[in-house]
Structure 1
Amino acid sequence: MKPVWPVWGFVALFALPLHAAEHAVGSHAADSSQIRQLVERFKGAIRARDGETMHSLFLPGGSWLQGLDKASLAKVRTREPKARQFIPGNYEQFAKFVGSSPKPIEETFDNVRIETDGVVGTVYFDYRFLADGKVTNHGAETWQLVNTDDGWKISAMLFSVVLDDNP
Structure 2
Amino acid sequence: MKTAITILLLFVSLNFISAQQTSKDKEEIHQLLNSFMQSIVKKDSVTFNSLFFEGNVNWIGVIKEKSQAKRIEVNPSIVKNYFTSTYTSFIQSILRNKKSEEKFENIVIQNDDAIASVTFDYSFWSEDSMTNWGNEYWQLVKINGQWKISSVLFSIEISKYYPKS
- TM-score, scaled relative to structure 2: 0.82
Query: How far apart, in 1, do the equivalents of 2:144 and 2:75 lie?
Result: 45
Query: What's 1:5 paired with?
Result: none
Q: Give percent identity, aligned residues only.
A: 29
Deviation at 1:23, TM superposition (A): 3.9
Tell me the distance in 2 between the aligned counterparts of 1:69 and 1:136.
14
SS in 2 for 1:161: strand
Q: Is the 8 A contact 1:45 1:54 kept in 2?
A: yes
User: Quick check: which has more Rg, 1 or 2?
Assistant: 1
- Mapped to 1, the partners of 2:115 and 2:33 lie a distance apart of 15
Q: Residue 124 of structure 1: which of 119, 123, 131 is its match?
A: 119
Partner of 2:84 in structure 1?
88
- Tell whether 2:99 aligns with 1:66: no
Aligned residues: 154
Alignment of 1:27-106 (within 5 A): 27-60=21-54, 61-77=56-72, 78-79=74-75, 81-98=77-94, 100-106=95-101
Moved more, 28-37 or 49-58: 49-58
Q: Report the equivalent of 1:4.
A: none
Q: Which runs of 5+ in 2 are unaligned?
A: none
Q: How far apart are the structure 2 equivalents of 1:110 and 1:86?
A: 23
* Conservation of the 8 A alpha-carbon contact between 1:24 and 1:117: no
| Deviation for aligned residue 1:24 | 3.1
Which residue in the other structure is 1:148 paired with?
143
Q: Cα distance, 1:21 vs. partner?
A: 6.0
How far did 1:44 drift?
A: 0.2
Deviation at 1:87, TM superposition (A): 1.6
Asked whether the 8 Å contact 1:107–1:128 carries over to 2, the reply is yes
Deviation at 1:17, TM superposition (A): 9.4
Deviation, structure 1 residue 18: 8.9
Structure-2 separation of matches of 1:149 and 1:28: 16
Deviation of 1:143 after TM superposition, in Å, equals 0.5
Asked if structure 1 preserves the Cα contact closer than 8 Å seen for 2:109 and 2:116, the reply is yes
CA contact (8 A) 2:101 2:126 kept: yes
Distance 2:154 2:107 in 1: 14
Task: State the TM-score, normalized to the length of structure 1.
Answer: 0.81
Amino acid across the alignment from 1:29: S
- Please give the alpha-carbon distance, in whole angstroms, between the structure 1 residues aligned to 2:118 and 2:12: 27
Q: Please provide the CA RMSD for this pair.
A: 2.4
Deviations 1:95-131 (A, max 9, x none): 2122x23311111111111111111011111011000
